[in-house]
Structures are given as C-alpha cells and as structure tokens.
Structure 1
Amino acid sequence: MSELTNFPPDALLRASLEVALAPVVGPLVLAVSGGRDSMVLLQAMARWAPERIAAVATFDHGTGRYATDASSLVAAESRRLGLTVVRERSRTPGHSEAAWRTARWDFLGRIARAFKAQVVTAHTRDDQLETVVMRIMRGAGARGLAALAAPSRVVRPWLGVSRAELARWATLETVAYLEDPMNVSRAFLRGRVRHELLPALETATPGFSDQILAIADQAAVWRREVEQYVDAFGLVVSASRERASCPAVALESTSCDGRAVLWPAVCARAGVTLNAKGTRELVKFTTAGRRGSSIRVSGGAIVLRRGAAAGEPAGDQFEVRRVPTPRRRDGAPAWAGVSETVPPRFGGFRWRRLLTAPTPDAHSEPDLWTMGFSRGEQVALRVWTAGDRIRTVGAPAGRRVTRYFSEAHVPALDRPSWPVVLVDNEPVWVPGVCRSLAAPSRPGRSELIWYRCEPEFD
C-alpha cells in the first residue's frame, strides 16, 4: 500500500473508489464525521457514485461544540447535495476512545440495517498504519495485524490513500470540513502514536511505515485464506448475524494449533471477537464438550454443541451465539410526569407533540408511532424490561412485549433501549410496536394530547 503520488488527485481518488466499490452489491451508507477525510469521501461519492448512496450517517458524540458543529456541517452539506442524511446525538457522552468507537459503530450498524446497506468509511493508509502499530503494542497475533484491511462488510476506499493525498484534493476542490481538535491532541494513545512514536520510528528506521504496512497486507491475505477455508467446511451464519454454526468434525479433525486459528474466524461471523483466553477455552471445549454442553467465552458469546437441525449435515454442530452485554434495568420509570410535559427526547427516540389529532384512515393500518393522552394524566417512560407484558386487542389477558418485538422485526440488540410508556404503572404503549387496550388514544379525539414518537434518526 505504498503512497501513490504520481497520479492526479482526481484520478487517484476515482480509481480508489471504483476498485473498492466494484465487488460490493447493494446500497451504501456513508459514515461522515465532518473531518477532512470523511468530507472528501462525501464529495467524491456524490460526484462519482451518487446512485450508490442510500444515506449519509453522522453521529454527534455529545462531547462539546466541535462534535455538534461537525454533525451540523455534514447534515447541511448532505442536504445541499440532495442526499438523505441520518443524524443522531449521544445522550451519554463517553470518555474514552473505546466508548466513542462503540457508540459510533452501534449507530452505524442500526442505520445500515435500516437501509439494508453496507457502511463506507474514510479510513486512510495512515489510519491503517497507526492501528497496526497500536495492535503490535498490545500483543496482537496475525489475525489482529490485518487491522483495517481484514475481510469485512465495511467498505474502505481510502485505505490505500494517504491523508496527504486527501488533503491535496480537499484543497483543490475547496471541500468544507472542520478540523477535529483531537487530531493534534496527545491525550489518547492514537494521538501519541501519530505525533510522537511513528515519526521517531521512521527517523530511526527509514521505511519503517512501509514495512509495517506490508506485514499488515500479508496478515490480511492470510486472514482471507482462513475465511475461505472456514466457508468451505460448511459454516452457516444466521440472517441477523448473531449466530454461526459449523460441523463439529471440521474442528475436531484438526490440531490444537489449527483450532486456535479457526475458532476466532468462526466466532467473528457471529460478531464475536475472541481474546487469547477465550480461544484457549474453545480449543479445549472442542473435544471435551459433549452434545448439549455449552461454554460462555469472553467477547460476549455462548458456544454450544448440539445435534444437527433440519437441513444441516448429519453429525454434531458447534453453534456460536452472540449475547448482548446485559444492562441493569430494575423496571423503575426513568421519567415520570403529566402528559403535557413528556420530554422531547428519551433515550434514542424523539417525542414530538402534535398540534392536531391524527385523522383516521379506514384503509390503512393503525399508526403505532402516535398516541394520545388525557390532559393531566400521569405518564411514565422507561426502557423495555424482559418481563413486560401488554394487553392488546389480540391478547386481552396480556402478552409478552418480546413477541410483539419479533412480529415488528425489531432487532434484538435494539430492544434493551426501546421505550415503554406506562399509565397507572401499566405498560400501554411501545412506540412502533404495539398499543394496549388501556391506551386512552382514539383517532379523531381532539381533546387528547397527541405525541408522535420515533427513532432519532434525523
């Protein structure tokens, strides 16, 4: 991935986009932060591949003025280009690189699922170099050293392009962007690697950066070969990408070293990243586990040994199930008050008071995103709890909300933060999912106070 400085900026960036997008089928969601590299991505995609863009996604981490201004810039520029923009602001600002990364990718994952699209990021050659060096410092193995070049559903067209080349194009095209103050900060590890460690290593060993990137390329090739081998022995991944299964014999028939290579690849298909301890435990479980046994491993996964299901090859199967990190919820309301004072935002949802009552339409399905409350009524909001039940027309005795989630195709990872509305301590409304028999809303009743609740995507 040597730096390409002999090409005109237009030719280099357009060629990089064409190569990266050629094998990708379907729509794309652009992850744009407002910084220079991602704003170049936005402008380049809008110029050379606008038909591929499903939406532009921008996330305000809630860390201060810069984060909000950058998100606003992305939204304004996307709309100027005629593109759909999805904007969200974190309600609980993180205080570490890991927390910011987790929140950002959670957001991008939700938007990609909503548009049935793949995410495109603006990671550059320099980002790859920094990431590989940081992983070396943490003792990563061959799998980890592939870093951003590893096989992934994330599309990274700038991975072979340096920041300097993107800066040159941004200047020529007068691309609007905001400079992130964290780019010059030494407060976090990446900043120290960028501004102190890498310049020192390059001075001490000229060509160090190219050598490290070559190692990463070799690791990425090796990792692709492992992925191809895993596919060949019959790996099956669920549509939700939260489960993966494979014939037990495929892992039993190889050595302990082979299992240590294959298990991380199998688990990764279910969205689970194994650490060294988890890998060692699964290597032992391969032969020690009996049908019906299971093991919980680091990375948020349960691995079980089971018999073959219908349509699977005969013989035992190993199944990896990703388990979301449990969140403490005691069921107590997170907000309570009268109907006139419902907050404009709760969690990742926006609550908008309607000026007029919605007009019923006899030919359309009920709008589960709106509901009316009596004036002065005591209302409480909290997130969904696993035992919640709600009385509906179809289930007057009560039915678990989780079943309505399934029918509404709400992803399991989104459910822990989904709001539930209570009146007199009884769940009466799960926005977009179901309303209770006890819900006071009736279309056309203007005396009620009407709200529309929807995910805060804009």
Structure 2
Amino acid sequence: MLQVRRAVRAELAHVGDGCVLVACSGGADSLALAAALAAEARRVGVAAGGVTVDHGLQQDSARRARNVGATLVAMGLDPVESLHVRIARGPSGPEGDARRARYSALQAAAARHRAAAVLLGHTLDDQAETVLLGLARGSGARSLAGMAPRTGVFRRPLLRLSRRTVRAAVPDGVEPWEDPHNADAAYARARVRHRVLPALEAELGPGMTEALARTAHLLRADADALDTLAHEAKEAATVGPAEHTATAGSVGYDVTALASSPRAVRWRVLRAAALEAGCGGSDLTAAHVESIDALISEWHGQKGVDLPGAIRVTRSGGALWFGRMT
C-alpha cells in the first residue's frame, strides 16, 4: 500500500485548485488507487471524489456500478457518481468504442465537479501491453510511447508500479471485480496480457514488462521533441488559403520548406495538416502520409492524393494544398 500511496501523494503535489476524482471500475487496480487517494487526500486536505462508468455491456452491470459507488462512499470519497454511457459503434472496434465513451463521460464529470484532475489506475503492465499493441499495428514512435502520465485533466500516477504491487494494495475487506473481458481471447489486449507477454518472459527472460514500459518512457521524450519541431516546421511552411478555383478554401504548405525538413518531422507536419483539413485520425494511415510525401520527394506531376473524409491533397504553385473534394 505504501508505494501506491506514495505515487498518489506525488501526483497530488502537482494538482491545482479543485477536487480530484478517481475513475474506478471496481477492478483491483482502480480500487487500490481509490483507497490511496482517499487516504492521501484526507492527509493533505484535498477534496476527493470518485466516478464509476457503466458501459451496459454485461448483465447486472448497473447493479455492479451501484456497488462500486457504495464502496467509494465507504472509503470517504465525496462526491461519488455512477455514470451510464451508450456505446456508439465506430471504426475502432468494441474496445475503442467503449474507451471513447468512457473518457467522454469522465471528461464531462470533471467539468461538472470542476475537478483539477481525474486519476486513472493504469499500471506498468498496462503500459507494456500498450507498446506491444502499437508494435502489432506497425505504429510510429508516438503510439509506441504508450500512455502519457498526464494528458489534460487525466493523470496516471501508477504507471511506474507493477500490477502485482498495485493489486497488493487493495484494502482488506474490499472485494475487487474482475471484468471477464480481461480474460476474453476475442480482445487483443487480453491475448497480449495472457499469451504474448508471458511467452516473451518465458523465451527472452524476466523483465520484459519493465523493458517495454521503459521503452515507452524513452520514446515519449523523443516523440515530444519531434512534435515540437514539427509544429515549428508547419508554422514556417504555411502559405495560407488558396485563391484559385481548383483548391478554393484549401490551406497550403510550401514544398521547398517541407523538403528541407527531416522525414520524421515532415511526416508529422503532413499528418497534422491532413487532420486539420478534416481527415479522421483513426482512418489516416502511415500509407496515406507516405503517399502525400511522394508529392514532395518523388514529384513527377501526379494529380494528387485522396484521403479519408473526402480530403484531397494536390501540388500546385510550389505548395501542397489540403482541401475538401468538390
């Protein structure tokens, strides 16, 4: 319990004015986090509450959410909310759809309670699983960097602690609930957790989980630096909206300026330009970005590149133009 409380104590030292909420599913990790927050918040005089989200995906989920809420109240957290969300089907699959709905509900709860932070119970093991899932997708450094310790109002104080350490901190008399999806081989994360990581540990030796999480930590620093350079390069290359009919309303980027940037920076600029033009982030792939880059590095008069979201990229007048198809 001491390590978990110490991690929460360190996070509370960096939280501004307002209450702190903990997102609690009723699983062991989030219950340990909730108990640590309740204890540390009392110690330093910070208002602390809890939120549990019912996705409605399993039988008796509403009753379970009420029980989690009662447990949070018994810990001394206030306010406590039990939120029920509707899962909208999207391109990310059931896991991604549920995650999107959950984060949206937590963000709204933070706004209602004017919370300075929402604590999430992700552990070092969760981080390692995220890195492996990114590798399986063929993702770049940003995805392989895993989950950030802090993203807006969301904080993950337990990312440096193993799942075993965190689960040992569940208070006596509190019975965690194990989501059956966590063991369902239909879900990629469950396969990574119960098959892939154990196999890696068996074949390559112990410490793989820590090594993968450490890789994420190092790659995040690299990705942050490259993103800063890309932002500066994008600002310098922007030439403004197009005036000619073929790309009316498009935003252009100077080809010469883009070509002078290293590819790692340039590809980030091109991805950001496509997203700003209206291309969906979950639909935009590395292959799309590579095709756009060919308009710079392998230019021979191509007509352009069509992207998801009815976005077209063309080259004209020494610039790349990102705009909607007409």
- Does the aligned pair in 1 maintain the 2:149–2:155 contact within 8 Å? no
- Does the aligned pair in 1 maintain the 2:133–2:189 contact within 8 Å? yes
Match of 2:9 in 1: 18
How many residue pairs align between the two structures? 285
- Does the aligned pair in 1 maintain the 2:27–2:177 contact within 8 Å? yes
The residue type equivalent to 1:220 in the other structure is R
- Does the aligned pair in 1 maintain the 2:142–2:223 contact within 8 Å? yes
- Out of 225-234 and 15-24, give the one that drifted further: 225-234
In structure 2, distance between residues paired with 1:204 and 1:20:
36
Match of 1:163 in 2: 163
Match of 2:248 in 1: none
- Does the aligned pair in 2 maintain the 1:151–1:223 contact within 8 Å? no
Match of 1:76 in 2: 70
- Does the aligned pair in 2 maintain the 1:30–1:55 contact within 8 Å? yes
Q: Select the structure that is richer in helix.
A: 2
Q: CA deviation at 1:155?
A: 0.8
- Does the aligned pair in 2 maintain the 1:41–1:122 contact within 8 Å? yes
After TM superposition, the structure 1 = structure 2 runs for residues 208-219 of structure 1, keeping only pairs within 5 Å, are: 208-219=208-219
- Does the aligned pair in 2 maintain the 1:59–1:88 contact within 8 Å? yes
Aligned residue among 14, 22, 31 for 1:30: 22
After TM superposition, the structure 1 = structure 2 runs for residues 382-421 of structure 1, keeping only pairs within 5 Å, are: none
In structure 2, distance between residues paired with 1:248 and 1:119:
38
Write the deviation string for residues 121-165 of structure 1: whole angstroms up to 9, x where unpaired.
100111111111111111112111001137622210111111111
Match of 1:67 in 2: 61
In structure 1, distance between residues paired with 2:234 and 2:13:
27
Q: CA deviation at 1:280?
A: 3.5
The residue type equivalent to 2:120 in the other structure is T
Q: Does 2:286 align with 1:276?
A: yes
- Does the aligned pair in 2 maintain the 1:40–1:175 contact within 8 Å? no
Tell me the TM-score normalised to structure 1 length: 0.52
- Does the aligned pair in 1 maintain the 2:41–2:48 contact within 8 Å? no
Change (3 A) 1:93 1:67: farther
Larger radius of gyration: 1
Q: CA deviation at 1:192?
A: 1.4
- Does the aligned pair in 2 maintain the 1:201–1:208 contact within 8 Å? yes
Q: CA deviation at 1:194?
A: 1.1
Change (3 A) 1:285 1:119: farther
- Does the aligned pair in 2 maintain the 1:227–1:265 contact within 8 Å? no
Q: CA deviation at 1:204?
A: 0.6
3-state SS, counterpart of residue 83 of structure 1: coil
3-state SS, counterpart of residue 31 of structure 2: helix
- Does the aligned pair in 2 maintain the 1:233–1:247 contact within 8 Å? no
The residue type equivalent to 1:163 in the other structure is R
Q: CA deviation at 1:103?
A: 1.7
The residue type equivalent to 1:16 in the other structure is A
In structure 2, distance between residues paired with 1:57 and 1:216:
28
3-state SS, counterpart of residue 158 of structure 1: coil
Q: CA deviation at 1:55?
A: 4.3
In structure 1, distance between residues paired with 2:70 and 2:252:
51
Aligned residue among 105, 113, 126 for 2:103: 105
3-state SS, counterpart of residue 57 of structure 1: strand
In structure 2, distance between residues paired with 1:266 and 1:73:
46
3-state SS, counterpart of residue 81 of structure 2: strand
In structure 2, distance between residues paired with 1:187 and 1:14:
34
Match of 1:258 in 2: 265
Change (3 A) 1:156 1:64: same
The residue type equivalent to 1:104 in the other structure is R
Aligned residue among 111, 114, 118 for 2:112: 114
- Does the aligned pair in 2 maintain the 1:151–1:224 contact within 8 Å? no
Match of 1:43 in 2: 35
Match of 1:332 in 2: none
3-state SS, counterpart of residue 216 of structure 1: helix
- Does the aligned pair in 2 maintain the 1:151–1:220 contact within 8 Å? no
3-state SS, counterpart of residue 49 of structure 1: helix
After TM superposition, the structure 1 = structure 2 runs for residues 256-405 of structure 1, keeping only pairs within 5 Å, are: 256-264=263-271, 272=281, 274-280=284-290, 283=293, 298=308
Change (3 A) 1:272 1:137: closer
Name stretches of at least 5 consecutive residues in structure 1 with no aligned partner. 1-8, 236-245, 288-294, 305-315, 321-458
Cα-Cα RMSD: 4.0
In structure 2, distance between residues paired with 1:224 and 1:263:
17
In structure 2, distance between residues paired with 1:156 and 1:150:
5
Tell me the TM-score normalised to structure 2 length: 0.71
- Does the aligned pair in 2 maintain the 1:120–1:156 contact within 8 Å? yes
User: Which structure has the higher relative contact order (CA within 8 Å, separation 6+)?
Assistant: 2
- Does the aligned pair in 2 maintain the 1:30–1:42 contact within 8 Å? yes
In structure 1, distance between residues paired with 2:46 and 2:149:
23
In structure 2, distance between residues paired with 1:267 and 1:114:
33
Q: CA deviation at 1:167?
A: 1.7
Report % sequence identity. Answer: 29
Name stretches of at least 5 consecutive residues in structure 2 with no aligned partner. 236-250, 298-304, 314-318
Q: Select the structure that is richer in strand.
A: 1
3-state SS, counterpart of residue 88 of structure 1: strand
Q: CA deviation at 1:265?
A: 6.4
In structure 1, distance between residues paired with 2:119 and 2:274:
23
